[in-house]
Each structure stands twice: as C-alpha cells, then as structure tokens.
C-alpha cells in the first residue's frame, strides 16, 4: 500500500538521520544558546518548503516551543514580500537573502540556511556573506550536503535523496533544536543564562 510504503521510507530516513546527526543537532542548539546569551540573534532563510521551515522555526523561538519563556530573537528572511520582490527585481533572485543579511546581520549572529540540495544559490550567497561579517553559519541540507559542506560552520545533512523526506526531517531537526534550547537555558532578569 502506498501510504504504508511512504511511512516506512520516512521512518528509515528518520533512523539514518538520528544516527548521523544527534551530536550535530546538539552543537547547533549550543550555538543558538551561545548566540542569544551574547545578545545576538538568529536569522533563518530558504526557498519554498524551506522558506516555510525558516518561518516555522523562527516562530517557535519568538513565540514558544513548549516551555513558557520570554521570546527569543529570531527572524525569518522569507517573510517580507516587499523586500523579497524589490531585491529580486533590482538585484536578482539570487541576492534576496544576501542583501537582507547585509542589512540585518551583525558579527556574532547565527545564520541558518535551509536547502534540501545544499546548493541553492541565494542561500549560499547569504551564508557566504554571513561568514564575511563574522556570523556563525549553519546549514540544514540533504543528499551529500552540497556547497554547504564547504561554507557552513556546521552542516546538518539529512541522508536522503528524496526532497520530501529531507523536508520532513528538517522540521523535526528544527523542533529538536527548539527543544534543546528550551531545556538547556534559564531566564534570569530578562537575560538568557546558560545552565
């Protein structure tokens, strides 16, 4: 049956992802905590379903995941249609994230670029500029990791060639990062304190 087959494929990818990435996810969570503790922010971006994932993860930080806490500084660079269309029109679609990183990112910020192939040109350009600025760069990718392997400080690769399963794992990874952050910091006097 098609539904059972799909679920079985999903479960197989999930097991491979767990084996390959549990320590990587923890490292990303530690970087998010360190970034926020230092008074910096998280910027997230991607295309299509990955844009939706960027928005979803940012919302978990600024709202809440499970634990009641103050909002944490995270911005999805995929939500401002005026900026996206103006930059796309004036500079080209390949620069829609790079220009926003140029405008918003500061040294010490954390950039999370999401691309199932690891090769999306506009995501690569945004991450590359982040490196120049002095940001920590994180990739959520799939397949063999693509160009993100060489430009990201941390690249969390979902071991699959199926875009849908990579996307499914990206949101699970995003939730795990949010859970890790919730469980590993405390709020005191409006500042994030690492346990």
pTM for the predicted model, two decimal places: 0.94
Residue 47: C-alpha distances to residues 51, 78, 103, 113, 165 (Å): 5, 8, 19, 10, 16
Domain membership of residue 70 (yes or no) is: yes
Domain membership of residue 46 (yes or no) is: yes
Report angle CA 118, 121, 23 to the nearest 5 degrees.
25
Domain membership of residue 108 (yes or no) is: yes
Domain membership of residue 193 (yes or no) is: no
The whole-angstrom separation of Cα 25 and Cα 22 is 5
Q: What is the CATH number of the domain that holds 147?
A: 3.40.50.10490
**Residue 195 binned pLDDT confidence (cut-offs 50, 70, 90):** very low
Share of the chain above pLDDT 70, in %: 95
User: 119: which 2 tokens?
Assistant: 């090769």
**Residue 111 binned pLDDT confidence (cut-offs 50, 70, 90):** very high
- Do 174 and 53 contact (CB within 8 A), yes or no? yes
Number of structural domains, the chain?
A: 1
> Residue 185's CB: how many other CB atoms inside 10 A?
22
Domain membership of residue 61 (yes or no) is: yes
Tokens 């890790």 belong to 180
> Which whole number is the average pLDDT over 172-176?
97
- CA dihedral angle for residue 116, residue 118, residue 119, residue 124, rounded to 10 degrees: 120
Domain membership of residue 150 (yes or no) is: yes
**What pLDDT score was predicted for residue 5?**
94
Tell me if residue 158 falls in helix, strand or coil.
strand
Out of 46-55, 65-74, 150-159, which region has the weakest mean confidence (pLDDT)? 65-74
- Tell me the residue range of the domain where 59 lies: 2-187
In this predicted structure, the answer to whether residue 191 has a pLDDT above a threshold of 90 is no
Work out the end-to-end distance of the chain between its first and last CA atoms, rounded to an integer number of angstroms.
48
The whole-angstrom separation of Cα 147 and Cα 43 is 19
- Do 103 and 75 contact (CB within 8 A), yes or no? no
Domain membership of residue 105 (yes or no) is: yes
Domain membership of residue 195 (yes or no) is: no
User: 137: which 2 tokens?
Assistant: 């760069």
């Amino acid at each position: 049956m098609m539904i059972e087959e799909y679920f079985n494929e999903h479960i197989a990818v999930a097991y491979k992802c767990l084996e390959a990435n549990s320590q990587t996810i923890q490292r990303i969570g530690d970087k998010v905590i360190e970034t926020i503790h230092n008074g910096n922010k998280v910027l997230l971006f991607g295309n299509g379903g990955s844009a939706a994932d960027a928005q979803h993860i940012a919302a978990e930080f600024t709202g809440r995941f499970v634990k009641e806490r103050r909002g944490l500084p995270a911005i999805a660079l995929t939500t401002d249609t005026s900026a996206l269309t103006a930059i796309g029109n004036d500079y080209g679609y390949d620069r829609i994230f790079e220009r926003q990183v140029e405008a918003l990112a500061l040294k010490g910020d954390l950039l999370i670029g999401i691309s199932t192939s690891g090769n999306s040109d506009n995501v690569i350009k945004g991450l590359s500029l982040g490196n120049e600025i002095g940001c920590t760069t994180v990739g959520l990718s799939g397949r063999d990791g693509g160009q993100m392997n060489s430009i990201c400080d941390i690249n969390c690769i979902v071991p699959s060639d199926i875009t849908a399963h990579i996307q499914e794992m990206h949101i699970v990874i995003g939730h795990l990062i949010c859970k890790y952050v919730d469980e590993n910091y405390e709020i005191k006097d409006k500042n994030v304190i690492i346990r």
